[in-house]
Structure 1
Amino acid sequence: MFSTTTTFDPFVVEIFLAAMNGAKILLVPDWYRSTPARLADAIIKHGATFLQTTPSQLKIFPHAALMEIFAGRTSVRTILVGGEAFPMNFLRGYHIDDKSVAFYNVYGITEVSCWASCQKISWKEDDVEIGEPLLGTKFLINEQGELLIGGTRRCISNGEWSGTWTSTGDIVERKESGKIYWLGRCNDQQKINGIKVSLTGLARKAETFDGIQSALALQYAQSVLLFVHVKNNSVQSELLKNISIAGLLFIVIPMESWPLTLNGKVDRQKLMQIFKQRDFVFTVNDLSDLLSKFGICLKNDRERTFAALGLTSLRATELTIKTEHLLKQRDFPLLQYFLSDTATVAGFLDLLKFGEVFWDAPLSCSQGYVIKPAISREIYPEWEYNLGKCIDATPVVESGSVFVGSHSGRFVSLSLDGAKNWEVEIGGRIEATACYQSGIIAVGCYSGCLYLIDGKNGQIIWQYQVGNAIKSRPVLFDDAEKCVFGSHDKFLYMLDIKEQKLLWKVACDGSILSSPLLHNDAVFVATLQGEFLAVDLVSFGIL
C-alpha cells in the first residue's frame, strides 16, 4: 500500500518493493493518512498485503480494524513500523498469535534513506531492539550514547557530502548480547525545577497503565504536559498518583485522537497549540495575563472587589473554568464568590493552593491537574465527486440526498455516502443553487433556461426559456406547483408548474442575482441596480 507522503523518504520503499516484486500498489489520497477510518477501510476493502506506517498512525486506527488485522481476517500479512518508538504496549492489547501478521521495527534517518536497520518483532520480549544494520550500513555509539550511522551510502546536502558518520540525535543502549535498544532523543532529557527528567520515559511509564493507549510528554515552562489517549477518564487520577515526581507539576491532557504531521508522526506543535488555546492558569504569570484581559492588575488591585473592578458574569464564568483546578477546597462555589459584592482579588488568591508562596517561590510540591481540551479538529472529506468544472452553487440536502450542479452543465443527485443516484446534463453552465420541494427540483443555468426535474430519477419534467442567464436560486411553493425566479434579463417570473405555463412576469430596473423571498402573499426581490421590489403574488402588481 502506498500510504506515505512523498516528503517522507520511506515512500521509496513502497514504490520499489511493489515494482521489484511485480505487485500491485494501492494508491490513496494524501488526506487518508489523517483519516484513520478511511485508511483502514481502503486497506481492508482493496486487499492490501503490505503496510508501512508510523506508530502514531497505527494508534489512531479504528479499534475494530486492528482487531480484524490481528485476527488474520484481512489480507494484511506484513507491517513495517518506523519513524518513532515501536508501540509494543499498545499493540500487545491486540496481539493474538505470531501466525496472522508479521511486524517489523524499522529504524533510520532521512540522511540515510530509507531505513538503516530492521528487526522482526518477538512478542515474548518486553523491549524492542532496532535490529541489525542493513546492507552497506554500519552503527557506531559514541561516548554520550548517541547512535551514529555510516557505511557505503552517503548523503549530499546542498551540494556537500556528509561526514563518514552521520549523527542520528538518538540515544541508544547496547546490551551484553550486542543488541541495540532505542532510549530516546538527545534533547529528550530536560531539567525542570532542577530535576532531570526523561520525557520519553514518562510517556512510556504512562503507557503501562491499563486504560491508556498511548502517551506523549512535553515540557511547558517548569511543568510537564502529559498528553494521553485514554479509553476512559477514570484512569487519570490514578495516573497522577503513580507518575508524579516531587517538585514537578504534571498537567494531564486527555486526547480523543492524535494530530499528525504529513509524515504520519504526532504533531507536537499542534499539541502545544491545543494546550495554549485553553488558557488555563498554572502560574502567577498565567493568572496575571488572564486578569489583565479583564482590566484587572494583579499587583495593584489586590484589595479591590471584583464587583468594583467590573467583572461581568460571563468573565466570572471564564475565570472560574480556568482557575478552579487550583482551589484548596475543590467544592468551593467559586463562581458565586466572584459574583458576590465582597469578593476581593486578595481573597481569591487566598483560595488558591499557592497560598503566600504564590509570589515568592516556585511551586515545590508534587501536584497534578487534569484538563479536558476542546480540541479544534481539522476537517477531512468523507468522499468526493467530480463534476468536471467549478461548483459555485450551494449543495442542497433533502430527503437523504445531495443535489448540486456545476459550470460543466452537469446536475447530480448523490446519496449522503457519496454514491450517485442519478446525473443529468442540461444546456448551460450552472451557477445557481437549486430549490427542492415535494420531490421536484428547480434550477436555472446560463443559457436562460429554468429546468424542473424529478428528484427521484432525474427526468426533466419541464423547461422554460427566458431572455438571459438565470444565476439566482428559484423558489418553489404551493407543494411545488408554483415557482418564482429572477433572471439577468431584468424580469421576475412566476410559473405554474402543474399547468406548465407562465402566470406573470414583472420588469425590474436591473438584473436579478438574489433569490426571491416569499412572505404572506408577496414576493420580495433585489436587483443589481439597488432596487428592492415587493410584488403581489395574485395581482402581480408592485406594492
Structure 2
Amino acid sequence: MHRTQYSGAQKLNVSMADIIYLGTPCTFDPFVVEFFLALQNGATLLTSHHSMRDSPSRVLSALFPDNLVKPGISILQMTPSLFRQFGANSIRERILSSSSSLRVLLLGGEPFPSNAELVTWMDPSVLLQKHICNIYGVTELSCWSLLHIVQTLQGQVSLGTPIEEDTVLRIQCQNDGDTQQGELLLGSASRRCYIPEIDDKLDTLKDDSGICFRATGDLVTRLKDGTLLYGERANDVVKRAGNRISLGLITRKIQKCLLSSELATCLWLEDLQKLICCIRTQEPKTRVQQRAQTFDILSKVSNAEQPDRFVYLQHFPCNVHGKLDKQLLLKECIPLAQPAQQILKSFLHDRLECVEESNENSAKRQRLEDSNPCGYDLSFRQAGGTSFHAITICREIGLQMCIDDEQRHLFEMLLDENIPLRTVLRFLDTAKLVANNIKLKPVEPPVVTSCHGGLVIKRIEQPVLKLRFLWKVNFEKCVDSPVTEYEGRYICVGAHSKILRTLDPQTGGELSKVRLPNRVECKVTFLSEQLAMVGCYDGSLYGFNPQTGDIVFSVEIGGMIKSQPLLTADGRRIIVCSYAEDYNVYCLSAERQEVLWCLRIGEKPIFAGPLELPSEQSLIICTLDGSYSRVAITDGSVEWTQQFREPIFSTPVLLESKSNIFLSAEVAGRVHACHVGNGRILATYSSEGNIFSSLVVKTPPTFMGHAFVVFGCIDQHVYCLRCKTGSNRFPVSVEFGLHWKINLGAPIYATPSLFTVQPNGLLVWCGATDGRVVLMNFTNGEIQWSDKLPGEVFSSACYIEGLRRVYVGCRDNFLYCLGV
C-alpha cells in the first residue's frame, strides 16, 4: 500500500496541513488508505463514534463546523451512496461551496455520479478550487488503482489513469472499431496478492512477463484516445422470459428519464421473477406525478426491459461499507411488489363468503370432480360481486396502475361472467404497478364517466391540449420532406426549392444552409453530430456537415432518391433505394462511401424505405411494381421474393422489435402481415382508399398481446388497427381488427407521428391535404386539438419531447414550429 499511497498523495498534494476524515469501517480496505495516508504525510486524522454514522446531519456538523473556532476537514473519501445521504442542499451549501474547507473529495466503490447530479451539487467554478475525484480499484490489487480528477461537468467521467506506473490494464474482449468493450482486468508488475482458491488452479491470469491479472467484474469501454468508461457489473445480467437483460443497462436508461435530483436502481426478485425499479426522490410525488413518470419510462425501454413494479422511496439503505444495500432494499420492496393481488383477495374474503382459500392441488381436484365452479374458478359476479364492488376495487387498485388502459381492462374483466377470478389475479400479476413506502393521498379524485361502450374509469381529468404557432421559416417552395431531428439539438429538412436547412429547434435560427442541384423530398439521415446524408432528385446521395453546410461527399446513384437512406444498425453500411433504371438498390460503405454491392429488384423504381432486420443481417425492400424481397446486407444476395398485386409506396415495418412478422401496404388499400422467413402473407386488412402513408406500429407497455398499426388513407381517414398474434401457435397466426378510424375531411398522404405529452399520454399527430393538422388520443382516436395551415400538408412531422414542440412542412413554402 505504501507506493500507491505515496503516488496518490503526490497527485492530490497531501500535506501535514490536511485533515483527513477516517469514516470508513476497518473491515473495508479504504480504511487502510485513509489511516496510513495521514500517518505517512503527518496529516491530522479525524474519526467519529460509529453511532454518529447513522445521523448524516451530526456527521456533517462534525466535519464542517458552523463556528470558525473548529477547523473543517480537507480530505473526504466516501461511496457515492453514503455521500448522497447528506442531501443535495447541504452538499452544495456546506461541503462543495467555494468557502468550505474541503480540498479533495474522493468518491469510489460504486458508479460515479452522473454530470446531471454533479450539477446539483456544485457550481462549475468549484472544480478550479477543489479536486473532485473518481477513485477506482479492487481489493486484490489496491482500492486506489486508478484516479480521475474531474475537470468539467460536461461529458462522461472516466475511470481514470493508473496511480502507479507498475499498474497494468487489460480488457478481456475483442476490438469493436475505435473502441474496446469487455471486462476490465488489473495487474501489477510489483504488487502480489495470493488467493489460494484462485491461484492454486492451473488456469491463472498471467502473461509472459509474469504479471498476475485480477478480474474486476466490471464491464468497461476504452475509447480510441484511451479514455476508460465504466459500463456495468459483468454479473448484473438475468434471464427474463427467455431474454437476457442487464440490470445496469436498464438502470441507465431509466435514469435518463428522471430529474437530476432523482436516483434509480433496478432489482431482480428471483422468486417471483419480477423486475423492480426503485426510484429515490427527495420530495414525495403525487400519484399523478408518479403515473406520468412511470408511463414515460415504460415508453422508453423495450418490452423485455420494462419493470414489473415501480417503488418510490425517499431513502436508499446503505450497508456497513457505505454501498447501496440491494439485499435490504429488496426486502423493503417485497411487501410492495404485489399489493394489487392482495387488495382483490382481501376484498373477496372480507365481503364475498363463497370464495375460500384452497391450495392448487385441491382446486384442480375440485374442478375434475365437480362441474360447478367454486373458489377462484368463479367469476367476480358469480362470487357475488356487483358493478359497485368493481368500481370500488378499480378505484383502489387503479391508484397503483401506471396505465389507464389496464385499469379499464380490469373493470371489464371483473364484470365479464366468463372470466374466472384466477384469470383476473394472473392479469394483476402482469400489470404495471407503482408503490410507495409512504401513504400519499392523490391530488385529483377518481372520476367515473360513461359512454356507449359501457363504463369507462379514468383516474384524472386530462387537461385540454393547446398548441400555439411559435415560428416559421420560408423555404421559397413546397416543403414535402419529412422533418428530421438529431438528439433534440437540430432539425433538418429539404424542399422543392433545392434548399436544405439545419435549424435551431428552439428559435428556428439557421445553423447551416445547403443548395443542392435539384429538389429534395427525401428525409435526412444523421450519421453523427457532424455528418448527415440526403438523397436528391438529381440522382445523387449527398453527405453534408449540418453545423457548417459543407458538402462532405456525393455519390452518383443514377436515379431520383425519394426514400430515406438507411444507416445499418452496426453503422458500417448505407443502403440507398432509388428510381435508377439499372440498379435501384445500392449498398455503400459508411466510412468511405464505396459501392459494396448493387442490384435491381422488380421492374420499377423504389419509393419506400428499406426495413433492416439486424439480427438476420438482411433487409426487406418493396418496389413500385408490387414485388418485395429479402436481401442479405453482407453481399446483396436475394433470399426470397414475393409479389403484391399493386405498387408499394409505404415503408415496411416490423410488428414488434424482435418479431418474425412485418407489415406492408399496397397502394390499393390493403395492409398485409407477412412472415419474415419467407414473405408469405399471414393476414390482410382492407381499407377504403389508397395508401401512400407509411405504417406506424406501437406496442403499448402492457401485456395484453396486442400491437397497434396507425396509417393515413386517401379516403380521408386515419386508421388504427389492432393486431394480435398467436405466438404459441405454429404456423404463426395473425388477426387484424379495426380499433378506430377518424375522418379528417381531406385525403392523407403524410405518415402519422406518435408522441407522448404528459399528462395526456400517447397521442397521434397527422396532417391532411387541405392543411388540417390534428392531435388524436391514441386509445380511442378522439381529436384533442385541430387547426389549419395555409397550404396542403404532405410532410411527416417530428416531435422533440424535451422541448414539447412539433415541426411540420407545408406547401405554402414554410416549415412550421408549434409548441404544446
TM-score, normalised via structure 1 length: 0.57
Paired residues of 2:64 and 2:72 also in contact (CA < 8 A)? yes
1:67 counterpart (92, 98, 106): 92
C-alpha change, 1:58 and 1:194, in structure 2 (3 Å) is same
Q: How does 1:369-380 map to 2 (within 5 A)?
A: 369-374=433-438
More strand by share: 2
Give the Cα separation in 2 of the matches to 1:295 and 1:279. Answer: 23
Higher-Rg member (1/2): 1
Match for residue 296 of structure 2 among 216, 239, 242: 242
Q: Is 1:122 paired with 2:159?
A: no
Tell me which amino acid in the other structure corresponds to 1:51: L
Matches within 5 A, 1:172-251: 172-208=220-256, 209-210=258-259, 212-220=261-269, 221-232=272-283, 233=285, 235-244=289-298, 245-248=301-304, 249-250=306-307, 251=309
SS at match of 2:432: strand
* Equivalent in the alignment of 2:77: 52
2:432 alignment partner, one of 349, 368, 372: 368
Give the alignment of 1:386-425 within 5 angstroms.
Answer: none
Partners in 1 of 2:382 and 2:51 — Cα distance? 50
Change (3 A) 1:255 1:119: same
**Structure 2 spans left out of the alignment, 5+ residues:** 1-20, 66-70, 175-181, 205-211, 364-373, 385-391, 440-820
The amino acid across from 1:303 in the alignment is: L
Q: Aligned equivalents of 1:141 and 1:49: distance in 2?
A: 35
- Specify the SS of the correspondent of 1:237: helix
**Which residue does 2:193 correspond to in 1?**
155
Please name the residue that 2:62 is paired with: 42
- 8 Å Cα contact 2:170-2:185 kept in structure 1: yes
- Which amino acid in the other structure matches residue 224 of structure 1? L
Matched-pair contact (CA < 8 Å) for 2:120–2:260? no
Letter of the 1:119 counterpart? H
SS at match of 1:216: strand
Checking the alignment, whether the CA contact within 8 Å between 2:394 and 2:407 is kept in structure 1 is no
- Point out 4+ residue stretches in structure 1 off by more than 4 angstroms: 158-163, 285-295, 304-309, 317-324, 326-334, 342-353
Task: Name the counterpart of 1:10.
Answer: 30
For each residue in 1:132-153, what CA deviation from the matched residue of structure 2 results, as whole angstroms up to 9, or x when unmatched? 1121311111127111111121
The answer for the alignment partner of 1:442 in structure 2 is none
- The corresponding residue for 2:315 is 257
Q: Do the aligned partners of residues 226 and 12 (structure 1) sit closer, same or farther apart at CA in structure 2, a change above 3 Å counting?
A: same
Match of 1:278 among 330, 336, 345: 336
Give, in whole Å, the separation in 1 of the partners of 2:381 and 2:261.
Answer: 41
Instruction: Between 151-160 and 119-128, report the one with greater CA deviation.
Output: 151-160
What's the secondary structure of 2:437's corresponding residue?
A: coil
C-alpha separation in 2, matches of 1:276 and 1:104: 36
CA offset digits 1:100-141 (Å, max 9, x no partner): 432110111111123211110122442111111121311111
Q: 1:106 to 1:73 in 2, by over 3 A?
A: same
Partner SS, residue 48 of structure 2: coil
Q: 2:378 aligns with which of 286, 299, 303?
A: 303
Structure 2 match to 1:418: none
Distance in 2 of aligned mates of 1:190 and 1:329: 27
The separation in 2 between residues aligned to 1:206 and 1:156, in whole angstroms, is: 40
Contact 2:158 2:230 in 1 (8 A): yes
Measured after TM superposition, the shift of residue 270 of structure 1 is 0.5
- Cα 1:307–1:347 shift into 2, 3 Å: closer
Q: State the match for 1:354 in structure 2.
A: 427
User: Hey, what's the Cα distance between the residues in 2 that align with 1:124 and 1:31?
Assistant: 35
Counterpart in 1 of 2:623? Answer: none
Q: Is the 8 A contact 1:102 1:120 kept in 2?
A: yes
**Matched residues, percent identical?**
26
Aligned residue type for 2:303 = G
Shift of 1:76: 1.1
Aligned-pair distance for 1:22? 1.2
Superposed, 1:459-470 pairs within 5 Å as none
The 1:346–1:79 alpha-carbon spacing in structure 2 relative to 1, beyond 3 Å, is: same
Cα drift, residue 319 of structure 1: 12
Indicate the SS of the match to 1:140. strand
CA change 1:43–1:322 in 2 (3 A) is: farther
Q: State whether structure 2 residue 104 is matched by structure 1 residue 104.
A: no
Other-structure match for 1:312: none
Kindly provide the amino acid, as one letter, of the partner of residue 16 in structure 1: F
Question: Helix, strand or coil for the counterpart of 2:140?
Answer: helix
Instruction: Give unpaired runs (5+ residues) of structure 1.
Output: 310-316, 376-543
- Tell me the secondary structure at the aligned position of residue 296 of structure 1: coil
For 1:51 and 1:124, the matched residues in 2 are separated by 20
Q: CA deviation at 1:4?
A: 0.5
Distance 1:345 1:8 in 2: 60
Q: Is the 8 A contact 2:311 2:434 kept in 1?
A: yes
What is the rounded CA distance, in whole Å, between the counterparts of 2:223 and 2:347 in structure 1? Answer: 51
Partner SS state of residue 33, structure 2:
helix
- Contact 1:33–1:264, Cα closer than 8 Å, also in 2: no
Instruction: Give secondary structure in 1 for the equivalent of 2:128.
Output: coil
Contact 1:47 1:76 in 2 (8 A): yes
